[in-house]
Amino acid sequence: MAHPSVAPVSGPAIKVPAVEIPTIPLLQLGTWVVFYGLLAMLAIFFVSADQGAISLPAGNAVHEWVHDARHLLGYPCH
């Protein structure tokens, strides 16, 4: 990357094993981040906040079912 370039050493070239780690193009990754990110946030929403501050669906079944996880994972519960 931005490493200072080193003058080539004279003499027989020693083949240095390539330590270059392949990277993933960020544009290609972006699609995955958007779609998976929405899915992950939906899952986290149901465990962390549903039927507390916002209710989808109405009632308390989701809240009651994940009640202990909400407390112990540190989310505001009630």
Partner 1 sequence: MSKVNPGRKPALTPAAFLVRGLVAGLLAGLVAFGVAFALGEPHVDHAIGLEEAAAEHLTPEEVAAEEAAAAEPGMVEISRENQKSFGLLTGTAAVGTALGGLTALAAAAVVGRLGRLSARGSTLLVAGIGFVAVALVPFVKYPATPPAVGDPETISDRTAEYFALVLISVLAAIGAVVVGRRLLGRFDGVDAGLIAAGGFVAVVSAAGLLLPSVNEVGAFPADLLWQFRRSSILTLASLWATIAVILTVLVGRLHDAVTADAQRRALAAGL
Q: Which residues bind partner 1 (CB under 8 A)?
A: 1-3, 17-24, 26, 28-29, 31-33, 36-37, 39-41, 43-44, 46-49, 52-53, 57-61, 64-78
State in angstroms the smallest separation of the CB of 7 from partner 1: 18
Quote the strand ranges of 1-78, DSSP E: none
Nearest CB to partner 1, comparing residues 9 and 78 = 78
Q: How far is CA 68 from CA 17, 37, 57, 71, in A?
A: 52, 25, 19, 5
Question: From the CB of residue 13, how many other CB atoms can be counted at a distance below 10 Å?
Answer: 8
Nearest CB to partner 1, comparing residues 10 and 57 = 57
